[in-house]
Amino acid sequence: MNPLGNFLLKIASIILFVVFGSIILSSCSSSSPSPSEQKPEGIVLPVAILGEVSDVRRKILQNTLNEAITTKFRIVPQERFEEAQEQAFQELDYEQCTEDQCIMLIQEMLQVEHLFQLEVIAEGQMIQLSIKLATIYEKKNKTDFCENCSTRELSDRVRKLTLGLLSEVDTSEIDFVSTPPTEVKKKEVPEPQKVEPEPKIEKPKPAERQQQDEDEDKLPSTDNFRLRVLGGSFSSASKSGTSFSVAFHWMGFGIGMSDLFYKLTSSGNNYDMTGHTMDLAYTFGENLSYTVGLGMIGEGKGIIISDGEKYQTSKVSGSTLFGLLGWNFGSIEALMGYQDFDFKYENFSNGNGTEISEPLQVTAWLLTLGLGVSF
């Protein structure tokens, strides 16, 4: 095959490697979403106390409740809940802001269907625990009684009650349905005289905030600098090869160097070849990145031992082509690649004037693995 055909075949091999590798990694990542992405949001209200219960015991029970809820839901941050609660108080009269009305309005503002609350009623040594779940469509409640129970026993009972209630909740296909609250009268606040109200910056609603978070996730990463180290090797009965590469990338463009060590035994002769290349590359993609590159040999050395004679040369030419797939885990990047070498060694001599007229062509390919760091 002519040189142009060999070059095109190598380019096609690298493209196929990148395409099939990205398909495999994408299918693996899409089929295994992180647990946090699978969990819907849920609201957890502060523990309601009736009777004499210490602040320490109340806090412990609240922590136990939150821990159990997080096995199936992502708890809405307290700041978001308080903002929605304040807005609900502003929209409803105090007398009309009943528990059901306020909860329904808060759930609609936050676009969250499930709301949980623990109620603790204490009378003497008798304590009743009641875990409540309120959704758009129904309410559920589980209770337990405990007499002369320690805080640890109460915590265990809260966990058992909560997990029992969660086992009855199906979160596989949760789709929030916005149900408008019952029509209520709003407060009539007298308009201040001779005072121009200051411009009010409207806070983004929860749904808008969620969209903003998603948009921010789509923004290009600020980790423009990447340092990569890769290595690879192959071995058989008659030949072996090793590659080591280092590269620095900025804004997608990369520059680096590679070293190839190649050994071959054939027809009683031993061949020991090395090559050093300067590499240029380009990387695109964020979480899943793709890199293609080309390297030109700068220097190298070839040694042939035949019939006890040692022939050497430092005249070498050629290039290397490579492709990489990168998978980002924060600032750490896992790399897998394909590298193809095509070197030509000429003018071998033994120092006594004896030369080998035929050049030696070395072609090899190998898979490489490595790590990268973004900063």
**Any idea where the domains of the chain sit in the sequence?**
38-76+112-171, 224-374
Q: 38-76+112-171 belongs to which homologous superfamily?
A: Ribosome hibernation promotion factor-like (3.30.160.100)
Beta strands in the chain (DSSP E): 41-44, 48-50, 74-75, 114-123, 126-134, 139-147, 225-235, 239-250, 253-266, 269-284, 288-306, 309-313, 315-329, 332-346, 348-349, 355-356, 360-374
The answer to whether the beta carbons of residues 26 and 42 sit under 8 Å apart is: no
Where would I find the beta strands (DSSP E) of 155-252?
225-235, 239-250
CATH among 1.10.1040.50, 3.40.830.10, 3.20.20.140, 2.40.160.20 for 224-374: 2.40.160.20
Q: Is 124 helix (H, G, I), strand (E, B) or coil?
A: coil
Q: Token pair of 78, please? A: 């307290």
150: phi then psi, degrees, rounded to nearest 5: -75, 170
Q: In whole angstroms, how far apart are CA 213 and each of 29, 102, 109, 207, 219? A: 21, 27, 17, 10, 10
Query: Alpha-carbon torsion 19, 23, 24, 30, what sign?
Result: positive
* Separation of alpha carbons 146 and 128, rounded Å: 6
Tokens of 294: 């080309």
Pull the structure tokens for residue 118: 């623990």
CA distances from 230 to 85, 90, 318, 341 (A): 54, 60, 21, 15
Q: Could you say which DSSP state residue 215 is in?
A: H
Indicate the pTM of the whole model.
0.45
Per-residue pLDDT 10s for the chain (375 aa) are: 555 566 666 666 666 666 666 666 555 554 444 544 568 888 898 899 999 999 999 999 999 999 999 998 999 888 888 888 888 777 776 555 566 777 788 888 888 888 899 999 999 889 999 999 888 778 889 999 999 999 999 999 999 999 999 888 877 665 544 444 444 444 454 555 555 555 555 545 455 555 555 554 444 444 578 899 999 998 988 899 999 999 999 888 999 999 999 999 988 899 999 999 999 999 988 788 899 999 999 999 999 998 888 999 999 999 999 999 999 888 899 999 989 989 999 989 987 878 888 899 999 889 999 999 987
The conformation of residue 167, written as its DSSP 8-state character, comes to T
- 């072609």: which residue's tokens? 363
Q: 307: which residues sit within 8 A by CB, 6+ positions away? A: 268
d(CA 312, CA 247): 30
